[in-house]
Amino acid sequence: MISEVVSVPGGIFDLLRADFGSPYEIGSWFWVDNKYIFVLHSGKRFAKKDGEHPVVIRTRYNPGRHGPNVTCYPRSASSRTGFAHEAHLPPCRINLPGMVLLHLPVVVKSSEISAATFSCCEETNSELMSQIGITS
């Protein structure tokens, strides 16, 4: 009988994804430490303050099979420009309305895209997915 469940953030799920090539799909949301988010075209940090931002991946990503960075779009609850995006339902951490900055692609250190930072998947028929280029 198992009396205790031990969870290692990212652990077995990321190992399985790497071994079997199970990707994180376009539209997967992650909460990433700001120190690992850089503006694609300038190489500058996306946010200078400490903390985290949600990012949505814009290309399919297989852990262990891609390079050191993943291209994403950042989301901000305080920005006044971008694509309007509603809050998600629990347990997703995106709990405030905000803007997805489709005009400002970022790169994220690939080690930060993992089960430990995963939040949810965008609905495939959402307006955001059609803006990213996915249609149902």
The residue with greater pLDDT, 4 or 121, is 121
Instruction: Tell me the whole-structure pTM to 2 decimals.
Output: 0.79
pLDDT mean over 101-109: 95
* Domains, the chain, ordered by start: 24-132 (2.30.30)
Compute the average pLDDT of residues 33-49.
95
Residues 6+ apart with CB under 8 A from 133: none
Instruction: Give the pLDDT score at 107.
Output: 94
Nearest to 51 by CA among 36, 33, 37: 33
CA dihedral 95, 101, 107, 110 (to 10 degrees): 20
Residue type, 91: P
Does the pLDDT value for residue 23 go beyond 80? no
| Region 46-63 average pLDDT | 87
**17: confidence class by pLDDT, cuts 50, 70, 90:** very low
CB burial string 36-55: b at 16+ within 10 A, e below: bbbeeeeeeebeeeeebbbb
The arithmetic mean of pLDDT across residues 93-111, rounded, is 94
